[in-house]
Amino acid sequence: MSEKIFLTYTNATAVPYQGSVLGRHVVVNYIDSDGNHHTLEGVPQHKFDHNIGKLVAFLREEMLSDGIDNGDSPFKRLKAREGRDRNLASTQPHTMIAEGDDLRSRWAQMRRFADEVNSVDYEYRPYSQNSNSFAAGALRRAGFFGPGTQFPEVFDRLHVVDPASGETRAVRIPGFDRRLANPIDVTAVRSDGQAAALRDRESSLDDRFGNWRSSSTGSVPQDMD
């Protein structure tokens, strides 16, 4: 059985009490050779049950916060969530990413990316750093997006096939064109080597100057580098 990696969509960003759709939530799907269905998606750590609360939180984070303070989001952290055997209707709109005999290594890379996102912690911003940013990052990690790949660029719109009508249309995917940035735990970042470079610099300083320790009790903190 041919394996598949594709995206599905749900209406996620709507105007409260009015209903018009501003954006969609992307779920990454993988069908393995045995027909098992796996999913990966990004979700906010804190969800709002009522539209008014969600609207206030949206305005607070996207309009009143500049994003520099990565701990002030009412939605809290962006979390990656993995699912299995999810039954999706055959009529659900989708974007096919890849089909082949063996896509397991690609899926494994996306799962590792999800683990890193959960270990690092990124602030969830409903329109600019969200579940769609996670989906794009996972696909980029697996080599589907970027220079020299089938999808050389990432935009905030994707072409979606509607199986019911057979039509292909462009839909707005806010945050899909944004890379995850400003991690809360920078020392845990592994995807771009920033933490490794930081550790290398710290190690180099230790080699040159050693670890300074106070020889007697005083105002100098212990274990100061």
What is the C-alpha separation between 194 and 167, in angstroms, rounded? Answer: 43
Q: Where are the domains of the chain?
A: 3-181
Residue in the block written with tokens 């220079």: 147
Q: What is the pLDDT of residues 38-94, one digit of tens each?
A: 999 998 876 766 666 666 665 665 666 676 767 767 778 889 999 986 666 556 789
Residues 6 or more apart whose CB falls under 8 angstroms from that of 122 comprise 70, 77, 78, 129, 180, 181, 182, 183, 184
Give the SS3 label for residue 145.
strand
pLDDT in the model for residue 156: 82
Residue in the block written with tokens 């939530």: 25
Q: What is the pLDDT of residues 122-134, one digit of tens each?
A: 988 877 889 999 9
Alpha helices (runs of H) in the chain, residue ranges in sequence order: 51-62, 104-120, 131-141, 194-209
Q: What is the pLDDT of residues 118-171, one digit of tens each?
A: 999 998 887 788 999 999 999 999 999 888 787 888 788 888 998 888 889 888
Structure tokens at 66: 């500049």
Task: Judge whether 47 and 63 are in contact, CB under 8 Å.
Answer: no
Find which of 43-47, 136-140, 182-186, 215-219 is predicted with most confidence, using mean pLDDT.
136-140
